[in-house]
Amino acid sequence: MTGFVSFVSSGPGDPELLTVKAVNRLAAAQVVLFDDLSSGPILGHAPQADLIAVGKRAGRPSPKQDHVSRLLVDHALAGQKVVRLKSGDSGMFGRLEEEIVAVQAAGIAYEIIPGVTSASAAAAAYGIPLTRRLTARRVQFITGADVTGGLPENTNMAALADPMATTVVYMGRRTFAALAAKLIAHGLPADTPALLAEAVSTPDQQITRHTVESLATHLQDAQSPHPALIFYGPLADFPA
């Protein structure tokens, strides 16, 4: 009997940001394959499940994607209720597509349960909106790293340098200095407000205010084990 896969989004780390549906799926799970950022107290909602760590973190040994997909398929084909627990929202830079393709190819039924992405959680924690009526009518989420870990090529720099947009950079700690140089070269003022949000919604959370230029300098020198988000644009100077 074929099982079922639930792709469950855990939010950025605070267990209270889990959705009711996410909690229900964890409680019913027989197997949970979880990311590093979805561990800790969140796993307490799956008391009867076998817990398998499959998280990927930059610069650390991590399971290969084909291995993770194989585990999903194997457990589901064994007839189990499988939860693939992903941090933030699973559809936001979470390699969800690769795993969906694997379960579809195996004829396994699945569902996707959305969650709070870290961008929304960071803005809420800092006390700001993601949009502003006159100065930030557009929000864009981008990744700061391609499959090699470098700054992605062929990006739309005109869009990224738009001073009227809120831009949120995921996985951009290592590449932001290079991105900032390109942004400034494409006309974004060097003093554009920026925020660095680290370990969002965890006890280690820290959100600091910068400019695009000063943040690029800061990140060249700073070392931190915590996941980070970068915001820049007109809302980063919102009174907070």
* Residue 165 dihedral angles phi and psi, to the nearest 5°: -115, 145
Note if 56 is an active site residue. Answer: yes
The rounded distance, in Å, linking the Cα atoms of 118 and 229 is 8
**In 40-162, where do the E strands start and end?**
50-53, 81-86, 109-113, 138-143
Of 29, 112, 114, 23, residue with least CA distance to 76: 29
* Helices and strands: H and E segment counts in the chain: 7, 10
Note if 35 is an active site residue. Answer: yes
**Catalytic residue chosen out of the listed positions 35, 86, 89, 162:** 35
**Catalytic residue chosen out of the listed positions 14, 86, 162, 171:** 171
Note if 92 is an active site residue. Answer: no
**Catalytic residue chosen out of the listed positions 21, 56, 81, 182:** 56
Distances (CA, A) of 32 to 70, 76, 144, 225: 14, 11, 29, 25
Q: Is 147 exposed, middle or buried (0-12, 13-18, 19+ CB in 10 A)?
A: exposed
Catalytic amino acids?
A: 35, 56, 171
